[in-house]
Structure 1
Amino acid sequence: MQRILRAGALAAAGLLVAQAAQAGTVTVLTSFPKELTTAYQKAFEAKNPGIKIEILNKNTTAAIAYVRELPEGQRPDIMWASAPDAFEVLARNKLLQAAPDTKNPAAPAKIGNYPLNDPQGLYYGQALAGYGIMWNTRYLQANKLPAPREWADLTRPEYFGHVAISSPSRSGTTQLTVETILQGEGWDKGWAQLLAMMGNAAAVTDRSFAVPDGVNNGQYGIGIVIDFFGLAGKYSGFPVDFAYPAMTAVVPANIALIAGGKNTDEAKKFMAFSMSTEGQQLLFDPKISRLPILPYSSLKAPAGYPVPQDVAKRAKVQFDADLSENRYQVVTSLFDQMVTFRLKELQAATRAIHDADKALKAKPNPKGAELLAQARSLAYTSLVGEANVKNEEFLALFRKNRRDVEVSKQLTGLEQMWATKARENYERARGLAQQAQGMAK
């Protein structure tokens, strides 16, 4: 009996130890790179030796699905990512919990005209980010290319084969960049510009990290990136530079408490630390290079470091997170069917368009100019019109669960139609451009 009692006591003690260990672990679900997460993990654990930070890295789309699938009590504690519309999705599904006591009162209420924190108080700006263009200075010099400053520059023929981007369906930061262009230029004009830019693309990568890594090492000359990728390369000593186009936006990268997480109290401490002066100062680490939410008067910023409020004043886009969230699935799916999965065909059409344009400038021909205009229209027109993305029934289809057989059948059929139509359009555009070039001889 004594042995049984001792065994029971030991088992109970072991259970308490396990529970205590679990209570001291905060699981952070994030799309951020390890350079950032490791810095915060080490700094926080050094200040709070009783709490362990566990980093669970997933891209934004996968992170949302992961939280949705887990029952209450088994979910991660914190969501930490760049995409504001991702937090809107979680909020709409009642998967976030307010944590107003974690906010830093020294932070401004807005960045430009954009609220720093969720008006409903469910997620909070922890850093700031804008979207732009990075380039490898040695690569451009070797290829005798000027540094691009605006999105429209990337449609020019001299940049053919020199541009890289990641797929917005796999990268939350790229989705925000694409959405910024669409909001700034308008749906139809924005897609025309995006498709012309993508015709010059050398690659569409699976992960956002692959683009800055490729520009840093000279694999690609130019990358379409969120600012911290370009700034991190620059301040870490790579031969790269970065510019914000006029058509950009500055929005918060957010942090939030997940409803039904395991360790709410400890999670709040980490959130508060990330927004504190000490936590904000970490953003200036060359490997991180993000824009802080706190005024520079309370921090030690490197010389020449971009000032978020100044960038926001110059930015021409007032980003609408609700609009972005409502059409998120349509934009990412359409991009994949027209660009990611049809890049070779789009490249071929674009090369033919550039060649015809050059030939017709040297020897003008009215009929050739007409054929070239038709080729551009075919190659650079979205397969989904603006009226469709204002149709709630159309948008709702893309928000339905793909595990439903009927929904999956509808969406798959629609996407296959887009893919087929895109291929046909690009092949016709290439043929028309080649005819136009022939008329200039």
Structure 2
Amino acid sequence: MQRTPILHLLAASLLLCWSAAQAGTVTVVTSFPKELTDAYKKGFEAANAGIKLEVLNKNTTAAIAYIKELSPGQRPDVMWASAPDAFEVLARDKLLTAAPEVKNPHVPAKIGNYPINDPQGLYYGQALAGYGMMWNTRYLQANKLPAPKEWSDLARPEYFGHVAISSPSRSGTTHLTVETMLQGEGWDKGWTQLLEIMGNCAAITDRSFGVPDGVNSGQYGIGMVIDFFGLAGKYSGFPVEFAYPSVTAVVPANIGLVTGGKNVDEAKKFIAYTLSKEGQQLLFDPKISRLPVLPYADLKVPAGYPDVQAVAKRAKVQFDSDLSESRYQVVVSLFDQMVTFRLKELQAATKAIHDAEQKLKAKPNPQAADLLKQARGFAYSPLVGQDNVKNEQFLELFRKNRRDVAVSKQLTGQEELWASKAKANYAKATELANQAAALTR
């Protein structure tokens, strides 16, 4: 007869142990690589006895979807990623909670004209980042290629097959790179330049890590990346260099407290740790190589490290995260339909255009020049124009929940239309370029 109370006591003890274990765990969802999260896990757990850090690695788009799908009390505690527009999405959906006590008062208010922390206090800048190009010096030397200086360089014929980028639908940092180019050049001109460069791409990788890994190993010559990928490769001893083009932006990588997380107090301690002097110093680890939000005067900075304030001053783009957030789904969807899923056709059109241009230089022909101009129009014009992307009704469709059957059907129809149009355009561009080349024989 004594067994029931004993079983109850044992069950209660197990429940208390489980609750204590849960209370001592901070769950962080992040797109950042293992080299970074491992360093912060080790440092934070050493500084906070009894608290564990659980890291869920997801690309930024998947992380947003994951947080949205879970009920309050089941969500991760912290969101940590590079894309400020991703945090705008979470803030809009009331999935972030202000935590003013985590802020480090030594962090400046702005980088250039861009606020480091969210003006509403819902998320905080934890590191700074710019966008540019990394290249393998041995690869370029072996292929007799000059180091690129501007995005426009990557559209030149000599770089055909030597460039790599990841898909913005799979990588928040790539989306920021693409959006920076679109904001810097304007929508129509930006897409034209982007498509010219994409035609020179050897690959569109599934994850952002695939690009720096490929450049570090010499699989690709040049990668379009966020700065820390290039700097980490360089400072880890790989034969790579990195440069910021003039059309770049410096914006914060952010961290925020998720509304409805399990362990609020412990989560706040982790966010505060990442913003502390100790947490900021970790960014200089060669495998991480990020730019801190704390002033360099407060830290031990490695020799030759980029001066982030100088980069911000000369950057031509004052990044507009509200604009980026408003058209986020349009940009990633359009990129996939025109580039990711149609890369072979775009490559073929670009190769035909390059070949025809080379022949036209050797043997000018007005008719061939006109055909070539038409070919470029088909290959490098965006399927959505500037006026469309300013249409709020059009943008709102892409913000709706795809789980709604009617919405999903409408979006799928739109994307299939883009895909078929892109395929037809690239085929027509290839045909016209081949006709132009034939006239120069």
TM range (shorter): over 0.9
Structure 2 counterpart of 1:381, one-letter code: S
User: For 1:284-299, what aligned pairs fall within 5 Å after superposition?
Assistant: 284-299=284-299
Structure 1, unmatched stretches of 5+, are none
- Tell me which residue corresponds to 1:58: 58
- Tell me which residue corresponds to 1:219: 219
**Per-residue CA distance 1:243-300 (angstroms, 9 max, x = gap):** 0000000000000000110000000000000000000000000000000001111101
TM-score norm. by structure 1 comes to: 0.99
Structure 1 segments of 4+ aligned residues over 4 angstroms from their partners: none
CA distance in 1, matches of 2:172, 2:6: 54
CA distance in 1, matches of 2:274, 2:263: 17
- Tell me which residue corresponds to 1:245: 245
CA distance in 1, matches of 2:149, 2:309: 20
CA distance in 2, matches of 1:55, 1:280: 19
Asked if residue 330 in structure 1 is aligned to residue 344 in structure 2, the reply is no
- Tell me which residue corresponds to 1:73: 73
- Residue 131 of structure 1 deviates from its aligned partner by 0.4
Bigger mean CA offset, 294-303 vs 188-197: 294-303
Structure 1 counterpart of 2:72, one-letter code: E
- Tell me which residue corresponds to 1:177: 177
Partner SS for 2:291: coil
- Tell me which residue corresponds to 2:16: 16
- Tell me which residue corresponds to 1:307: 307
Partner SS for 1:126: strand
Aligned positions, number: 441
Partner SS for 1:316: coil
Asked if residue 365 in structure 1 is aligned to residue 362 in structure 2, the reply is no
Structure 2 counterpart of 1:103, one-letter code: K
CA distance in 1, matches of 2:342, 2:7: 65
- Tell me which residue corresponds to 1:272: 272
Partner SS for 1:32: coil
Structure 2 counterpart of 1:268, one-letter code: K
- Tell me which residue corresponds to 2:47: 47
Partner SS for 1:387: helix
- Tell me which residue corresponds to 1:376: 376
- Tell me which residue corresponds to 1:430: 430
User: For 1:28-427, what aligned pairs fall within 5 Å after superposition?
Assistant: 28-427=28-427
- Residue 405 of structure 1 deviates from its aligned partner by 1.3
CA distance in 2, matches of 1:293, 1:311: 14
Partner SS for 1:214: helix
- Residue 222 of structure 1 deviates from its aligned partner by 0.5
CA distance in 2, matches of 1:44, 1:374: 58
**Per-residue CA distance 1:123-181 (angstroms, 9 max, x = gap):** 00000000000000000000000001100000000000000000000000000000000
- Residue 15 of structure 1 deviates from its aligned partner by 1.1
Bigger mean CA offset, 429-438 vs 25-34: 429-438
- Residue 409 of structure 1 deviates from its aligned partner by 1.1
- Residue 406 of structure 1 deviates from its aligned partner by 1.1
CA distance in 1, matches of 2:210, 2:3: 59
Structure 2 counterpart of 1:146, one-letter code: P
Partner SS for 1:90: helix
- Residue 82 of structure 1 deviates from its aligned partner by 0.4
CA distance in 1, matches of 2:72, 2:341: 37
Structure 2 counterpart of 1:70, one-letter code: L
Partner SS for 1:71: coil
Structure 1 counterpart of 2:143, one-letter code: N
Bigger mean CA offset, 9-18 vs 146-155: 9-18
Bigger mean CA offset, 109-118 vs 409-418: 409-418
- Residue 435 of structure 1 deviates from its aligned partner by 1.1
- Tell me which residue corresponds to 1:439: 439
Partner SS for 1:248: coil
**Per-residue CA distance 1:70-89 (angstroms, 9 max, x = gap):** 11111000000000011001
- Tell me which residue corresponds to 1:4: 4
Partner SS for 2:26: strand
Q: Alpha carbon RMSD of aligned pairs, Å? A: 0.7
CA distance in 2, matches of 1:428, 1:70: 46
Structure 1 counterpart of 2:182, one-letter code: L
- Residue 2 of structure 1 deviates from its aligned partner by 3.4
CA distance in 1, matches of 2:4, 2:367: 96
- Residue 7 of structure 1 deviates from its aligned partner by 2.5
CA distance in 1, matches of 2:408, 2:7: 54
TM-score norm. by structure 2 comes to: 0.99
Structure 2, unmatched stretches of 5+, are none
**Per-residue CA distance 1:289-332 (angstroms, 9 max, x = gap):** 00000111110111110121111001000000010011000000
Structure 2 counterpart of 1:332, one-letter code: V
- Residue 5 of structure 1 deviates from its aligned partner by 2.2
CA distance in 1, matches of 2:10, 2:157: 74
CA distance in 2, matches of 1:30, 1:384: 31
Partner SS for 2:386: coil
- Residue 6 of structure 1 deviates from its aligned partner by 2.6
**Per-residue CA distance 1:210-265 (angstroms, 9 max, x = gap):** 00000000000000000000000000000000000000000000000001100000
Report the identity percentage.
Answer: 77
Structure 2 counterpart of 1:347, one-letter code: Q
Bigger mean CA offset, 5-14 vs 234-243: 5-14
Partner SS for 1:6: helix
CA distance in 2, matches of 1:18, 1:432: 68
CA distance in 2, matches of 1:256, 1:422: 39
Bigger mean CA offset, 399-408 vs 112-121: 399-408
CA distance in 2, matches of 1:4, 1:381: 75
Bigger mean CA offset, 20-29 vs 431-440: 431-440
